């Protein structure tokens, strides 16, 4: 029985039928495999997925620091998304709402009689007390059911208080996971925020203006990327949305190139900005030393500017020099270890590269809420059949904005870059980097996690807080790749060392060797009685 079969063995009937297509064994690198994904979870399986609200408010909108995001609903949802995701932000002017949680704290009467008045009043109070750049409203489960028209409230408030006010109907039950929420958030940002300043596109030939998309600045990753990019000579117009601001997003259309870090959560915006502003995007990866180098070179290649290219190599050399000693130390310590990674969108892919930098092979990987293209590459997108849950999520179409349209990249250059495997308007997916008997699980659950741990016995397993303590109880070190175990940044060169150090400490902490009481392995009657005897 191979690993996949062993995992599926316990399932019967409908669960087996469902889960078998979510588990894929990758025998050989390069051989295409299909995986079921972005479909409803099986009720009763202890999964790690969150909901639509979590994707919209928790992931995409939450990091905007100058915006009051009001959770419209009972208290819980706003409470749980308060200060827990480590999307760091630093407002030079102190106008930082990241440390706050705003909610309408709906009560029974509001559920019965409707919450629109309460929401309107809450917006009023938010504007009066906090004077934010914008107010955003995210609704939670009951709101859709009781029929609160949050768009109407937002429109009224916008007019009355003279402040941008945007509503997101991201009720938890929508879609099948956080993924629906990303999409809804993307749509809202595209419709109302991105480019809304309508400033002109700089016309000089050579500007190196970037947006970083799908970078939420967990543990300061975004800051580290900005540091490197600025050092090379790029200008970062906006980050979506780590340490992001409403203000910056309104100017995002002026960038020359969009870098897509987390493909899953933000590819919608990348595509729509391409359509509307003709801004090219490339899939990047700042996680991992070699990946960061590759990414930096590809960006330089995109701009094809000698100064930038030279500076890129200088910065790479400088950064490598700084980490050389520690890189060597941790590589020696970690080479030959194996790992499992179960995380949200793109990290299960990204971190395989970083681990490989230190000689660690990933033998199990899975996504929580990815789509097939995240596994198999964007080439499968035309083949993906949308099910009912996904169809319910609004798809918006944008039109080219002739006034703010960027000059197109030369077609020949585009093809040349693609030929060089630069992921321009493309993401290859995780599978192409795996194989060799490793296993991939989509929407992994508690039971399956236990099972693969038993089968593969990895040296370390990266997941989230809900799994972490279970994994460790089984004797396997586990670090959280959602929150970086409160460390970071893990991005780029220095970040890779921080990651390696944490991994090394987790694997080598002496407690692992003491888990079994000595009297369980040797009788106390044979136990040594101290090293010395006074007798």
- Pick the closer one to other proteins by CB: 99 or 397: 99
Cα–Cα nearest to 135, from 208, 46, 64: 64
Q: For residue 218, list its beta bridge partners.
A: 87
- Cα end-to-end distance, the chain, whole Å: 59
Minimum distance, C-beta of residue 518 to other proteins, in the bound complex (Å)? 5
Q: For residue 210, list its beta bridge partners.
A: 236, 257
Minimum distance, C-beta of residue 39 to other proteins, in the bound complex (Å)? 10
- Pick the closer one to other proteins by CB: 378 or 482: 482
Rounded to whole angstroms, the Cα distance separating 452 from 471 reads 11
DSSP for residue 87 = B
Cα–Cα nearest to 4, from 474, 455, 349: 455
Active site (annotated) includes residue 85: yes
CB-facing half-sphere around the CA of 511: CA atoms within 13 A: 9
Active site (annotated) includes residue 51: yes
> Can you read off the two tokens belonging to residue 479?
């670090």
Minimum distance, C-beta of residue 7 to other proteins, in the bound complex (Å)? 12
Of the candidates 54, 138, 185, 255, the residue annotated as catalytic is 54
- Pick the closer one to other proteins by CB: 64 or 316: 64
- Pick the closer one to other proteins by CB: 55 or 195: 55
> Can you read off the two tokens belonging to residue 375?
């596994």
Of the candidates 19, 72, 120, 182, the residue annotated as catalytic is 182
> Which are the contacts of 113, defined by CB distance < 8 A and separation ≥ 6?
none
Of the candidates 22, 85, 209, 353, the residue annotated as catalytic is 85
- Pick the closer one to other proteins by CB: 94 or 336: 94
Helical segments of 134-212, H only: 141-146, 150-161, 178-192
Full DSSP string of 3-70: HHHHHHTT--HHHHHHHGGGEEEE-STT-------SSPPPTTS-B----HHIIIIIIIITT-TTEEEE
Minimum distance, C-beta of residue 108 to other proteins, in the bound complex (Å)? 5
Minimum distance, C-beta of residue 116 to other proteins, in the bound complex (Å)? 11
Rounded to whole angstroms, the Cα distance separating 354 from 58 reads 26
Of the candidates 3, 51, 134, 238, the residue annotated as catalytic is 51
- Pick the closer one to other proteins by CB: 446 or 494: 446
Active site (annotated) includes residue 54: yes
Minimum distance, C-beta of residue 115 to other proteins, in the bound complex (Å)? 9
Residues serving a catalytic function are 51, 54, 85, 182
């Amino acid at each position: 029985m191979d690993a996949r079969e062993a995992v599926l063995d316990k399932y019967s009937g409908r669960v087996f039928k469902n889960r078998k297509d979510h588990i894929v064994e990758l025998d050989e690198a390069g051989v295409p495999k299909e995986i079921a994904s972005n479909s409803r979870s099986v009720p009763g399986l202890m999964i790690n997925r969150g909901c639509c609200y979590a994707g919209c408010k928790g992931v995409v909108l939450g990091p905007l620091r100058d915006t009051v995001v009001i959770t419209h609903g009972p208290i819980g949802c706003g409470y749980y998304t308060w200060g827990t995701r480590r999307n760091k932000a630093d407002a030079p002017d102190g106008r930082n709402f990241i440390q706050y949680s705003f909610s309408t704290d709906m009560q029974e009467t509001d559920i019965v009689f409707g919450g629109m008045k309460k929401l309107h009043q809450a917006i009023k109070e938010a504007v009066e007390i906090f004077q934010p750049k914008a107010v955003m409203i995210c609704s939670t489960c009951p709101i859709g059911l009781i029929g609160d028209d949050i768009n109407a409230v937002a429109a009224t408030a916008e007019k009355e208080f003279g402040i941008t006010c945007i509503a997101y109907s991201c009720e938890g039950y929508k879609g099948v996971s956080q993924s629906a929420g990303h999409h809804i958030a993307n749509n809202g940002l595209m419709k109302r925020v991105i480019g809304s300043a309508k400033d002109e596109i700089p016309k000089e030939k050579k500007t190196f203006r970037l947006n970083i998309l799908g970078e939420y600045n967990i543990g300061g990753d975004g800051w580290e990327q900005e540091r490197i990019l600025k050092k090379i000579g790029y200008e970062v117009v906006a980050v979506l949305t780590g340490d992001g601001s409403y203000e910056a997003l309104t100017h995002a259309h002026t960038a020359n190139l969009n870098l897509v870090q987390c493909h899953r959560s933000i590819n919608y915006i990348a595509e729509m900005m391409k359509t509307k502003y003709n801004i090219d995007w490339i899939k990047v990866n700042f996680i991992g030393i070699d990946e960061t180098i590759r990414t930096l070179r590809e960006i330089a290649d995109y701009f094809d500017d000698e100064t930038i290219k030279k500076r890129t190599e200088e910065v790479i050399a400088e950064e490598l020099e700084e980490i050389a000693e520690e890189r060597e130390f941790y590589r020696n310590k970690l080479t030959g270890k194996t790992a499992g990674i179960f995380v949200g969108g793109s990290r299960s892919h990204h971190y395989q590269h970083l681990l490989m930098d230190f000689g660690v092979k990933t033998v199990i990987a899975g996504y929580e809420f990815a789509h097939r293209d995240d596994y198999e590459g964007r080439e499968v997108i035309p083949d993906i059949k949308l099910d009912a849950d996904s169809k319910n999520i609004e798809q918006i179409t944008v039109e080219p904005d002739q006034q703010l349209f960027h000059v197109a990249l030369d077609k020949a250059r585009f093809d040349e870059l693609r030929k060089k495997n630069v992921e321009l308007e493309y993401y290859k997916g995780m599978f192409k980097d795996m194989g060799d008997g490793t296993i991939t699980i989509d929407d992994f659950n508690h039971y399956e996690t236990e099972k693969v741990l038993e089968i593969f016995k990895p040296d370390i397993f990266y997941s989230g807080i809900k799994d972490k303590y279970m994994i460790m109880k089984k004797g396997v070190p586990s670090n959280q790749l959602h929150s970086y175990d409160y460390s970071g940044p893990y991005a780029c060169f220095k970040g890779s060392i921080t990651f390696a150090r944490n991994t090394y400490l987790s694997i080598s902490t002496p407690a692992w060797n003491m888990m079994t009481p000595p009297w369980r392995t040797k009788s106390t009657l044979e136990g040594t009685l101290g090293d010395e005897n006074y007798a």
